[in-house]
Amino acid sequence: MSGLLSEWHVNPCVEDRLVYENVALVGATGAVGSIVRQLLEERQFPFKTIKFLASARSVGTKLTFKGEQHTVEELRPEAFEGIGLVIASTPDEVSAEFAPWAVERGAIVVDESGYWRMKENVPLVVAEVNPEAIEKHDGIIASPNCSTTQLVVAMKPLHDAATIKRVIVSTYQATSGAGVAGERELEESSRASLAGQAYANTTFAHPIAFNLIPQIGSPKHAGYTSEEMKMVWETRKILNDDSIRICPTCVRVPVTNCHSESILVETERKITAAEARKLFEKFPGITVLDDLGAGLYPLPLSCSGKDDVFIGRIREDLSFENGLAFWCVSDNLRKGAATNAVQVAELLVHSKAAV
């Protein structure tokens, strides 16, 4: 982690000041919310009190956090009274309704939905890439789409060193990106297919077992899908550079967890594979696994459950002079969602202590 993210952990002189008195986790019982709870505990996030909020169907659920049992409360305006920080993982329409409730009551919301990401007055933040953007919030800070998050982490050291002009990215996105239902459909349909039985898919538009689906999201712009256009718009906003040309293709694959991306960048000056490897190795949040002869490169199975962005297959492009190609894998539920949100919350804690 960078100094901004880690200073409150390692500097005991400021530890007592780095506390949000009251924290709320919205969507606490969901797949991403469960990981947020785990990370808050593992990373010893500083707070005095915490409450867990969810939809009416989850109210009354008992959750164990830091050895104590908590009862899930209903997501309603009054639940945010006295709350200083909210970390939220909900559908867009839920976030659109509740986030203003929290802000009106003085809270800062770190939101993982897609609703606020492209709003003009809402910073879109990846902790390692543009931490300074948190200072521009008006109460809401957005965390980007999972496929965008790992892309911009991988792009940032190259962009800083040689200015990226163009990106061609093909994603291989796990079924966990469609939630628990997506994971279940992959498992159940795979069993059915192996047994020679029929299976009626409901989560995906086409069978996912032993198949690839080259559409994630709805038709959006010039033949691109909503998922693909998120990568275009969000990447430009995070890197604060509308001149970057981005051509994405997003594909759903029969993998349970971790999104993979094949990335080709064109830079203003040539970056050799050796230089790129050093840039990646020095950058916080990136782990390089790159030994083709030894069969060492990032795999969804080996990267699942980890917080870094993993990069391998680093090589110079054969088709034009200033091209660089590489392979990138990241846990879409962790760094692509929960981990980044917690890291942004840690930045807020640091920012508060610095005031």
CATH of the domain at 67: 3.40.50.720
List the one residue out of 223, 172, 173 whose CA is nearest residue 333.
173
In this structure, the answer to whether residues 138 and 156 fall within a common structural domain is no
Label residues 228-246 b or e (16+ Cβ within 10 Å = b): bbbbbbbbbbbbeeeebeb
In this structure, the answer to whether residues 192 and 96 fall within a common structural domain is no
Q: Which residues are known catalytic residues?
A: 146, 259
In this structure, the answer to whether residues 116 and 167 fall within a common structural domain is no
User: How many domains does the structure of the chain reveal?
Assistant: 2
- Which range marks the domain in which residue 220 is found? 148-332
List the one residue out of 102, 210, 179 whose CA is nearest residue 333.
179
Instruction: Write phi, then psi, for 61 (nearest 5 degrees).
Output: -60, 140
What's the rounded Cα separation, in Å, for the pair 284 and 327?
18
pLDDT at 21: 73
In this structure, the answer to whether residues 157 and 128 fall within a common structural domain is no
Quick one: 78 exposed, middle or buried, by C-beta within 10 A (0-12, 13-18, 19+)? exposed
pLDDT at 321: 94
In this structure, the answer to whether residues 303 and 342 fall within a common structural domain is no
> What CATH number did the domain enclosing 259 receive?
3.30.360.10
pLDDT at 352: 64
What's the rounded Cα separation, in Å, for the pair 172 and 152?
16
- pLDDT profile of the chain (355 residues), mean per 10: 36 41 91 94 93 92 94 96 95 96 96 96 97 95 98 98 98 96 97 97 97 97 97 98 98 98 98 98 98 98 97 97 98 97 94 54
Q: How far is CA 327 from CA 9, 21, 170, 187, 337, in A?
A: 32, 42, 10, 26, 20
Quick one: 223 exposed, middle or buried, by C-beta within 10 A (0-12, 13-18, 19+)? exposed
Start-to-end CA distance of the chain, whole Å, equals 22
CB 310 within 8 A of CB 329: yes
In this structure, the answer to whether residues 140 and 152 fall within a common structural domain is no
What's the rounded Cα separation, in Å, for the pair 130 and 113?
19
